[in-house]
Structure 1
Amino acid sequence: MSSYGLAARVVLEEKGVPYERIAVDPAELDSPRHLAEVHPFGKVPALYHQGFHIYETAAIARYVDEAFDGPALQPDDVKAHATMQKWINITGQYIYPAVIGDLVMQRLAPKIGAFDGVMNEEVVAGSVPVISHQLDLIGQALGDGADFLAGDFSLADIFVATMMQYIALTPENDELLGSRPTIAEWLQRVTSRPSYKAAAYDFGF
């Protein structure tokens, strides 16, 4: 259920690129084979294309957008492009640790076996104001009726939405997203796209 894997697949779907998804057992992430052949830091996803191997989701996304035909997912305008890059960086540096690491993984720990199946309530509680601040920044970016984070639909929306949509799996959803209709509507615009529906996981719970 890698959020970054989901982002990479949404990009592939947006571009209309056929691909084969190869599932990775989390227990194998630190195996010598995975470190040597897939990702040297024990992560996912990675992409193989005509003998070319690339890892790190932002690099994969840019490669797919530039190497294949289909709708452009990066703005031409230099300011819009910088804004897109800002949101991609914010996703990795701030949103992922708070939303995925401190909220979602903790809340799902008993179901998926993370943290020995034990949720840390203090970590969860501490994540809420941090995520609230992040959502407020997204709300500011969507002010004045903007549909997307960097002008037209772009990698910025894909990266941020594929993290924030996991909040719906937690009891904090009403507090964090239910009280922010502008962000909830933006998230719905992104996650209702055919590309997202084709790439999304079936969590089974």
Structure 2
Amino acid sequence: MTDFVLHGIPGSPYVRTVALTLEEKDLNWRLAAVPMGGHRTPEYRAIHPFHKIPTLDHGDFRLYETIAILRYLDSMADAPALVPGDARSVARMDQVISITACYVAPRISGALSFPRRVGPMIGMAVDEEALAAAIEPAAETLEEVARLLGDQPFLAGDAITLADLMLAPHISFLPEFEEGRQLLAPHANIDAWITRMETRPGMVATTWERMNAMAAARETVAA
């Protein structure tokens, strides 16, 4: 099968979601790293007309929009199936995917994880007032995720699905900074789920450090 090429910024939760899915499906892929801010350039617009990440190439087929990419990748190999076989589990999976995109991404990743964890690494000043204001909506969002997870091992039941792969890159930053740890404190089930996800080979293979190393290796070869 033709290798997959993933265009995106290392460290982006959305890029990592696609990388995780490629790893879970044991598909051959490589990272075409986009530098921080590089998705806003005219060159990248030729890849994605709306300047978003990620974009996936599979031979002469180009696809963007994360959920479409995940569904496509799941169809590329029968096992492991990342979409459940029953209607209610599929509905729960789709619900969590939507919650991640609509609420977790802006309220947690955008409002807390990026400014606290990523921003200082690229020279951005931390707006403490904005961070403080983000705590309540982030807590509200995490409370609902905890309710939906309940005592299940994964978000749609006993087996990992695209919902887990969509959410994990957003939530996995929380233990790395104080506000995140405080948000997790009331939710032992989410904390255990993060630990469960972090042990998966795909999560190990797609850490920020590993993705940056992939990008550096490609640059060395190109040079």
Provide TM-score, normalisation by structure 1: 0.91
Structure 1 residue 83: Cα displacement: 0.8
Alignment equivalent of 2:181, drawn from 153, 174, 177 = 174
Letter in structure 1 aligned against 2:209: D
User: Mapping of 1:51-200 within 5 angstroms?
Assistant: 51-108=60-117, 109-113=119-123, 117-143=124-150, 145-151=151-157, 152-200=159-207
Tell me, in whole angstroms, the C-alpha distance in 2 between the residues paired with 1:66 and 1:92. 22
Structure 1 residue 5: Cα displacement: 0.5
Letter in structure 2 aligned against 1:26: M
Structure 1 residue 100: Cα displacement: 1.4
Structure 1 residue 185: Cα displacement: 0.2
Query: 1:41 aligned to 2:50?
Result: yes
Structure 1 residue 139: Cα displacement: 1.6
Kept in 1: contact 2:174–2:181 (CA 8 A): no
Aligned-pair identity (%) = 34
Structure 1 residue 59: Cα displacement: 0.9
Kept in 2: contact 1:16–1:70 (CA 8 A): no
Structure 1 residue 28: Cα displacement: 2.3
Kept in 2: contact 1:104–1:167 (CA 8 A): yes
- Partner secondary structure for residue 53 of structure 2: coil
Structure 1 residue 126: Cα displacement: 1.5
Tell me, in whole angstroms, the C-alpha distance in 1 between the residues paired with 2:203 and 2:27. 14
Gaps of 5+ in 1: none
Aligned CA-pair RMSD: 1.6
How many residues are aligned here?
199
Kept in 2: contact 1:54–1:60 (CA 8 A): yes
Letter in structure 2 aligned against 1:120: D
Provide TM-score, normalisation by structure 2: 0.84
